């Protein structure tokens, strides 16, 4: 894997590769980290997909180091992003927030706060469609609509993309790379996206703590009251276990 934190971000969005996209496989694939783990508690599927698709600057897991990358998906706001940001500030941890265009337009103060406090804003597309099921032209529009809005309204250049619902193809990964983006998946996620169907903080905290592994890319949803409640304790637990948090760049 390339260095996840040492690149010059000013160069990230300059396209450095070109593909014959129409010739690449566009078979839709879904992503979930699976349940089979190696002896370091790393998802075997994450390691396999990293090996297969890393050439497109797609990331399913980080390097074999005691490092954790926190990421949040933001499709709509229901009041939990502020306490999440409060905790991250208190613990001095930076995260990536993957946002749709509607979220960015409706929550400018939160977006500005994320930027001001050193977090990264990731591109989660305009309308959140299934990328392998739409045209090459529509995909570019989905990404560029968000990219240009962030540049024009926040003077911020996006470099990270998360595929809606984790659905991708070889073709979509190549196109995203062509557009100057890295595609960031995850090596751990759990069922936290429905605010009306939460497992409770007493179960969620040990669940995500027990998933710790080297190079972990955590996907959490900012609409989860459980995540807002347990985040500080999770950060403490991870640090006590010898892990450090880094911003994925």
Catalytic residue positions, numbered: 73, 221
Distance CA 191, CA 172 (A): 25
Residue pair 204/232 in contact by the 8 Å Cβ criterion: no
Q: CA–CA separation, 88 vs 243, rounded Å?
A: 16
Measured in whole angstroms, the distance separating CA 101 from the mean position of its chain's CA atoms is 15
How many angstroms separate the Cα of 81 from the Cα of each of 68, 118, 123? Answer: 20, 15, 17
- How far is it between the farthest Cα atoms of the chain? 50
Q: What is the DSSP letter of 216?
A: E
Cα gap 47→37, rounded to integer Å: 10
Instruction: Report how far residue 121's alpha carbon sits from residue 101's, in angstroms, rounded to the nearest whole number.
Output: 11
């Amino acid at each position: 894997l390339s260095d996840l934190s040492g690149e010059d971000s000013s160069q990230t969005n300059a396209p450095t590769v070109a593909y014959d996209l129409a010739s690449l496989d566009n078979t839709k694939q879904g992503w979930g980290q699976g349940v089979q783990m190696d002896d370091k508690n790393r998802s075997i599927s994450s390691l396999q997909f990293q090996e297969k698709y890393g050439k497109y600057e797609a990331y399913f897991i980080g390097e074999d180091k005691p490092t954790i990358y926190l990421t949040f998906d933001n499709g709509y706001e229901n009041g939990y992003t502020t306490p999440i940001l409060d905790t991250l500030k208190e613990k001095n941890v930076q995260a990536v927030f993957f946002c749709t265009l509607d979220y960015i337009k409706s929550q400018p103060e939160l977006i500005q706060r994320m930027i001001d406090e050193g977090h990264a804003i990731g591109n989660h597309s305009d309308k959140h469609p299934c990328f392998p099921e739409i045209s090459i032209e529509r995909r570019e529009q989905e990404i560029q609509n968000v990219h240009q809005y962030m540049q024009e309204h926040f003077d911020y250049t996006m470099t990270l993309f998360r595929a809606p619902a984790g659905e991708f193809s070889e073709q979509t990964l190549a196109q995203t790379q062509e557009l100057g983006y890295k595609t960031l998946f995850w090596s751990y996620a759990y069922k936290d996206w429905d605010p009306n169907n939460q497992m409770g903080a007493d179960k969620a905290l040990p669940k995500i703590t027990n998933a710790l592994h080297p190079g972990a890319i955590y996907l959490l949803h900012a609409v989860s009251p459980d995540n807002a409640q347990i985040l500080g304790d999770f950060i403490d637990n991870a640090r006590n276990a010898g892990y450090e948090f880094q911003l994925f760049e």
